[in-house]
Amino acid sequence: MSSAMERRRPPTAQQFVLEELRRAITTGELRPGGPIRQDALAARLDVSRVPLREALKTLEAEGLVVHHVHRGYFVAELSLDDLEEIYRIRRLLETEAVRAALGRMPEDLVGSLERIQDEVERASLAGDVTAMAEANRRFHFTLIEASGMPRLVRLIATLWDATDAYRSLYYTDTAHRELAVHEHRAVIAALGEADEAAAVRRLDEHRSHAVAALREVLAPG
């Protein structure tokens, strides 16, 4: 096991395997539709099959992997229709979360977003897709959680989880990373001015650009 992997290892074997599988899916190491070879993974991660099976069951419940009888586990694939539906629902729910967040406007929300945005930009410049995806998620969920609506946050998180396998397809492209950076800055500016309409509009544009890029990848040739 590599030293980098050892540094990432959390307290339990199941948590460790779950995080490593998420990372592999998010970065595209495990591609949508690709098989998950349990023997090879268990050997590479230096764990038994038990925590691996438990982690796969967790990911299956979240919709990130699917199980086919007599064939094993595979990274879940989304059709273009699936992806567009998920983003359409996200728009409805996240708009409500942003409006609630602005209504409450927790202290230092903008400052927190600016600090996370610094991480987003460093990852973007370095071309680190994993770090970019992680910082991007923290950025959005810091805003979403400011709504003070935990059930809503959980619903939105489920939708985000379902598209993790496709995030690397977007952030691998330098132009897409740069656009995301610009769009985050526009969101922060709108929030700083307490401009609800502008914040919602900027986030709508942010999602729309991601869907348009992924549409080109997923649309039939």
Kindly tell me if the per-residue pLDDT of 63 is higher than 90. Answer: no
Report yes or no: 30 and 24 within 8 Å, Cβ to Cβ: yes
CA 45/CA 208 separation, integer angstroms: 37
Average pLDDT value for residue range 122-151 = 94
**pLDDT attached to residue 14:** 85
Predicted pLDDT of residue 183: 97
Averaged confidence pLDDT in the chain: 90
Interval 53-78 mean pLDDT: 90
66, β-bridge pairs: 74
Structural domains in the chain plus CATH codes: 3-75 (1.10.10.10), 80-218 (1.20.120.530)
Residue-level pLDDT at 220:
63
What was the pLDDT predicted at 135?
94
pLDDT tens figures, 200-217: 999 999 999 999 988 887
CA distance 141 to 113: 10
Measure the CA dihedral 15/17/21/26, to 10°: 40
Distance CA 174, CA 112 (A): 25
The answer to whether residue 33 scores a pLDDT higher than 70 is yes
List the structure tokens of 88.
Answer: 């359409």
pLDDT above 90 as % of the chain: 61
